[in-house]
Amino acid sequence: MEQEDTLIEIAVSVDSEAAEAVSELFNRYNGGSYAADSAEGEASGGGAVIEATGFDDFGQPIAGQFRLTVKTYIKPGRRGAQIRRQIEEGLWHLSQIYPIPEPQIRTLRQEDWAHAWKKFYKPLRVGRRLVLKPSWEAFQPQPDDLVIELEPGMAFGTGLHPTTRLCLAALEEHIQPGDAVLDVGTGSGVLAIAAARLGARFIVATDIDPLAIQATRENLTRNGLDGLPDLEVDVRQGSVPDGLTGRFQVVVANILAEVLVGLLDGTYGNVPLAVPLATGGHLILSGILAEKDAMVLQAAARHGLQLVDRKQEEDWVALVVQKAT
């Protein structure tokens, strides 16, 4: 019988495509928030955590060594046992479609869990000037470096995932000093902080997950971005914000292809994603598996957005589209 202060970790090492399917499974059965206790006082939630390992000193994946491990953490108890069962069955079904090995299951003390993934996370250079620095690591920046200090907590956005790195590279290319930037699905706030470092002066960061909002607020403070006279950052729970038509020179959304299509068409909220984008502005769409980019591009075209760049890392694609002038 597991103790109350323990968590069950389920970990599966897979390729990028299977990682998306396994993450969806973990989020479906073990999504939500640890704060949202059930009637019996048992928390569920946590969703999926993706760890990537096997990078060289320049942050490039090393052939044969690069691996993705998708993990989820379950509280023991009656509800936890049910979640574990659903996940094990779901993994069995997925293993009929994708090459998925036997899941590694172990019991962790909660304290260990909070720190378990940290050993893989080192300072990481992305693009020309951006450096992602875990808050617990020492790092000596070069004069031109733009350092983003992060403690992602439960939120997505360490920079370990290609989809985040593709967005960071695109932000570096498209943000001009003084721009207004909208970050939909901010996770840890990594892209919003990058936008501030690159010179954006009005930033709105949204996420449907309250844990992401909390992590983003903490990371903004950690990076000294609170209360600056020449910077306004607005962190809101939600999706595409209302009342900001044509306000942003750059909009970024790193979510899955299916969600991006829903956001573009306005079926996942009241405001279609192109509405807050300024005329001539750039929309960066990431989190797209290569075989799904046509679907996202078609949705973008329906809203007057034209492709200006396509970036790819492994199986993941980011599209940069522009609102016609």
Q: Which of residues 191-250 bind ligand SAM (CB under 6 A)?
A: 191, 206-209, 212, 239
Which of 150, 154, 160, 190 is the binder for ligand SAM (CB under 6 A)? 190
The correct pick among 26, 254, 281, 319 for binding ligand SAM (CB under 6 A) is: 254
| CB of 253 or CB of 305, closer to ligand SAM | 253
Tell me the site size for ligand SAM, rule CB under 6 A: 23
What is the distance between the alpha carbons of residues 260 and 287, in angstroms, rounded to a whole number? 9
Q: Which stretch binds ligand SAM (CB under 6 A): 218-226, 227-235, 251-259, 290-298?
A: 251-259
15 versus 258: smaller Cβ distance to ligand SAM? 258
Is residue 199 annotated as involved in ligand binding? no
Residue 169 structure tokens:
């590279």
The response to whether 254 counts as a known ligand-binding position is yes
Q: Minimum Å distance from CB 200 to ligand SAM? A: 15
- 30 assigned ligand-binding residue: no
Residues 58-77 that bind ligand SAM (CB under 6 A): none
Q: How many angstroms separate the CA atoms of 268 and 320, rounded?
A: 21
Q: For the chain, how are helix, strand and coil distributed in percent, rounded to 5?
A: 30, 30, 40
d(CA 80, CA 236): 31
Using the contact rule CB under 6 A, the part of the chain among 32-40, 55-63, 182-190, 270-278 near ligand SAM is 182-190
Euclidean distance between CA atoms 210 and 187, whole angstroms: 10
Report 127-166 residues binding ligand SAM (CB under 6 A): 155-157, 163-164
* Dist CA 213 CA 154 (whole Å): 11
Sign of the CA dihedral 12, 289, 269, 170?
positive
Q: At what angle do helices 210-222 and 190-197 cross, to 10 degrees?
A: 30
Does position 185 interact with ligand SAM (CB under 6 A)? The reply is: yes
Q: What is the DSSP string of 243-278?
A: S-TT-EEEEEEES-HHHHHHHHHTTTSSS-TTTTEE
Contact pick of 184, 193, 195, 284 for ligand SAM (by CB under 6 A)? 184
Q: Consult the annotation and say whether 164 binds a ligand.
A: yes
Q: Cβ 56 to ligand SAM, closest distance in Å?
A: 21
What value, to the nearest 5°, has the Cα angle with vertex 125 and ends 198 and 207? 55
Site for ligand SAM in 265-304 (CB under 6 A): 268, 287
Binder to ligand SAM among 68, 126, 167, 169 (CB under 6 A)?
167
Residue 186 is a binding residue for ligand SAM (CB under 6 A): yes
Nearer to ligand SAM, 44 or 254 (CB): 254
* Cβ contacts of 77 within 8 Å, gap of 6 or more: 40, 42
DSSP summary character for residue 214: H
User: In the chain, which ranges are E strands?
Assistant: 6-14, 49-53, 67-74, 104-109, 124-126, 130-134, 146-150, 180-184, 202-207, 232-237, 248-254, 277-289, 305-313, 316-323
User: What's the min distance (Å) between Cβ of 206 and ligand SAM?
Assistant: 6
**Minimum distance of ligand SAM from residue 25's CB (angstroms):** 16
Q: How far is the CB of 165 from ligand SAM (least distance, A)?
A: 9
Q: Which residues are near ligand SAM by CB under 6 A? A: 155-157, 163-164, 167, 184-187, 190-191, 206-209, 212, 239, 254-255, 259, 268, 287
